[in-house]
């Protein structure tokens, strides 16, 4: 528990640091982008036009990245409520199917009846989206993504498994660290699993990672079951776009 607490605090201060840096960096980028736009517009017939376009393109990608960082670092207002996990999974089902593409099958295996868990619906959706994006990236030539739910003692279990590349030991050890990524620059932010971890721990749960190189990866989330009736009010607000990865 001590180690977990330290880890959470480390994530939090890293998040704040990242937020501060991303903010200042974004302001600098805005200036660079502005001047590059001038050159592209007014210098269209100069030898520098193409170079300026390259600056614009790279700058815009940098700007997207800093926005993802800011979203990660921002302390959003969290509204935990009793939720039916199966319902949340069903609600993101369509979006996930679409973003997985044709060559990846999505299998849902939902427990018949589940007690509720107390969490923010938007955040729980974000968790599922982040895990699905990672699974997709790990299965470039297709495979199966399975999401199953169940009750284990007094915890609701959500398990997300893929038949993708899996992770070697060195990657598993670092996978939850903010900014750790093995993806090409511009594609991975290294914030996907750190975000999942932060959300689940904040909701009183745990995350476990099991991965077998060449066979696939399973992420198991345990959330404490609650006696409260699940909230069936307004639909969850849509999650912010997943940081790729
Ligand atoms: P990102 O996806 O932006 O790289 P994450 O924090 O989501 O950031 O993941 C960190 C790293 O963990 C990834 O770069 C990848 O190497 C590894 N990883 C995460 N999920 C999976 C998965 N389902 N299969 C294989 N590797 C994974």
Q: Is 165 in the pocket of ligand 1 (CB under 6 A)?
A: yes
> What's the confidence (pLDDT) of residue 168?
97
Strand-pairing partners, residue 216, are: 212
Does the interface ipTM go beyond 0.95?
Answer: yes
106 vs 101: CA distance, rounded Å? 10
Smallest CA separation from ligand 1 atom 8, residue:
190
CA of 166 to the centre of ligand 1 (A): 9
CA of 224 to the centre of ligand 1 (A): 26
> What's the confidence (pLDDT) of residue 1?
59
87 vs 230: CA distance, rounded Å? 10
Cβ atoms of 76 and 237 closer than 8 Å: no
Q: Is 182 in the pocket of ligand 1 (CB under 6 A)?
A: yes
Cα separation values, 72 from 12, 68, 124, 154, 157, Å: 10, 6, 15, 30, 25
Q: Which atom of ligand 1 is nearest to the CA of 130?
A: 7
Smallest CA separation from ligand 1 atom 4, residue:
181
Q: Is 145 in the pocket of ligand 1 (CB under 6 A)?
A: no
> What's the confidence (pLDDT) of residue 7?
63
Neighbouring CB atoms inside 10 A of 171's CB total: 17
Q: Is 183 in the pocket of ligand 1 (CB under 6 A)?
A: yes
> What's the confidence (pLDDT) of residue 245?
42
Q: Is 197 exposed, middle or buried (0-12, 13-18, 19+ CB in 10 A)?
A: buried
Q: Is 217 in the pocket of ligand 1 (CB under 6 A)?
A: yes
> What's the confidence (pLDDT) of residue 62?
86
Cβ atoms of 221 and 159 closer than 8 Å: yes
Q: Which atom of ligand 1 is nearest to the CA of 190?
A: 8
> What's the confidence (pLDDT) of residue 75?
56
> What's the confidence (pLDDT) of residue 206?
96
Substitution site in 192, 194, 199 for ligand 1 pocket (most atoms within 8 Å of beta carbon): 192
> What's the confidence (pLDDT) of residue 145?
98
Q: Is 193 in the pocket of ligand 1 (CB under 6 A)?
A: yes
> What's the confidence (pLDDT) of residue 207?
96
Consecutive 10-residue averages of pLDDT for the chain (245 residues): 62 67 82 90 86 90 79 70 96 90 95 94 92 96 97 97 97 92 84 90 94 97 93 57 50
Cα separation values, 184 from 50, 53, 187, 201, 245, Å: 24, 21, 6, 28, 11
pLDDT tens-digit readout, 185-215: 777 888 899 989 988 998 999 999 999 999 9
Q: Is 239 in the pocket of ligand 1 (CB under 6 A)?
A: no
Q: Is 116 in the pocket of ligand 1 (CB under 6 A)?
A: no
Q: Which atom of ligand 1 is nearest to the CA of 164?
A: 24
Nearest CA to 8 among 229, 182, 207, 220?
A: 207
pTM above 0.90, yes or no: no
């Amino acid at each position: 528990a001590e180690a977990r607490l330290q880890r959470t605090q480390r994530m939090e201060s890293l998040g704040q640091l990242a937020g501060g840096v991303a903010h200042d960096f974004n302001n600098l980028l805005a200036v660079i982008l502005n001047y590059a736009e001038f050159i592209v517009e007014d210098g269209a017939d100069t030898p520098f036009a193409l170079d300026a376009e390259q600056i614009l393109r790279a700058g815009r990608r940098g700007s997207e990245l800093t926005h993802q960082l800011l979203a990660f670092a921002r302390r959003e207002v969290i509204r935990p409520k009793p939720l039916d996990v199966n319902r949340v999974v069903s609600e993101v089902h369509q979006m996930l199917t679409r973003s997985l593409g044709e060559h990846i099958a999505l299998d849902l295996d939902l427990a018949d009846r589940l007690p509720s868990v107390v969490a923010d619906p938007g955040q729980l959706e974000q968790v599922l989206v982040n895990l699905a994006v990672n699974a997709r990236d790990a299965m470039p030539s297709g495979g199966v993504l399975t999401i199953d739910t169940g009750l284990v003692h007094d915890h609701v279990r959500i398990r997300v498994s893929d038949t993708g590349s899996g992770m070697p030991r060195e990657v598993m050890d670092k996978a939850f660290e903010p900014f750790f990524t093995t993806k090409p620059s511009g594609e991975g932010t290294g914030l996907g699993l750190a975000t999942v971890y932060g959300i689940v721990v904040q909701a009183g749960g745990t995350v476990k990672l099991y991965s077998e190189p060449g066979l696939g990866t399973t992420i198991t989330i345990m959330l404490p079951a609650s006696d409260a009736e699940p909230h069936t009010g307004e639909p969850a607000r849509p999650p912010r776009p997943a940081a790729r990865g």
